[in-house]
Amino acid sequence: MSGLVRRIGAELIGTFILVFFAVGSAVFGLNQISPVGVALAFGFLLLALAYAIGPISGCHVNPAVTLGVALRRGIRPDAAAAYIGAQCVGAILAAGLIKIMVTAGGVMDNTGALGTNSWGATVNVTGAFIFETAGTALLVLVVLLVTRADVPAPASAGLAIGTVLAVDHFVGIPLTGTSVNPARSLGPALMYLPALPQLWLFVVAPLLGALLAVGAVAFLAPARSPEESRA
């Protein structure tokens, strides 16, 4: 088995785990654990995955992160495309299993919409777009800064990444349910078709956020020259 196949498999499995258990925490238990519990579920899961599959694939589990890494030349374009495909498949499979739990497993959907992302209740389309762009930019910025190739990766990198995802959810759950991850939004939307008309925002805004993060990293931490590296 080639290294790329293992990496793609890690991204598929990792995204499946993130969507099934973290989105599942909202669908299965929002009324019991509250939005704070859901936010912590996302943060803790990404933290665990960063240490579990990070050494294999980098633990992107998010097309926006993969886009940011690719633009920073941390992954080849063909591998990035394969990563994104695997992430989307993993999210769709996880959302499908969540739907089976609700429709055939006797589990009540605490979100009423299978954990999909949306706007309209507490924020309009402009507010939703601003939050999803800013929230993703923050996440991708932290990922790119703490995993830079020109500095040793700190042992706490996974903690930083998991923490920022939890913060995104603390802020965003009351607004959009928090996406900051196109794959996370795609899977549930395909299983709950009324969410499809709003899906575009949860794809476009996170990708724009990734672009903004790449620009910020280029300014804050430009690649060091060979002379600086030797020094």
Q: Distance of alpha carbon 86 from its chain centroid, rounded?
A: 13
> Which residues does the chain have with pLDDT short of 50?
225-231
**CA 62/CA 66 separation, integer angstroms:** 6
Instruction: Give SS3 for 70.
Output: helix
For residue 203, which of 12, 64, 59, 17 has the smallest C-alpha distance? 64
The sign one gets for the Cα dihedral 207, 213, 215, 221 is: negative
Per-residue pLDDT tens over the stretch 62-117: 999 999 999 999 999 999 999 999 999 999 999 999 999 999 999 999 999 999 99
CA–CA distance from 39 to each of 35, 86, 167 (Å)? 6, 24, 7
Q: Domains in the chain, start-ordered, CATH in brackets? A: 3-224 (1.20.1080.10)
- pTM value is 0.94
| pLDDT, the chain, mean | 94
**Contacts (Cβ under 8 Å, ≥6 apart) of 128:** 119, 175, 176, 201, 205
Structure tokens at 181: 């991850």
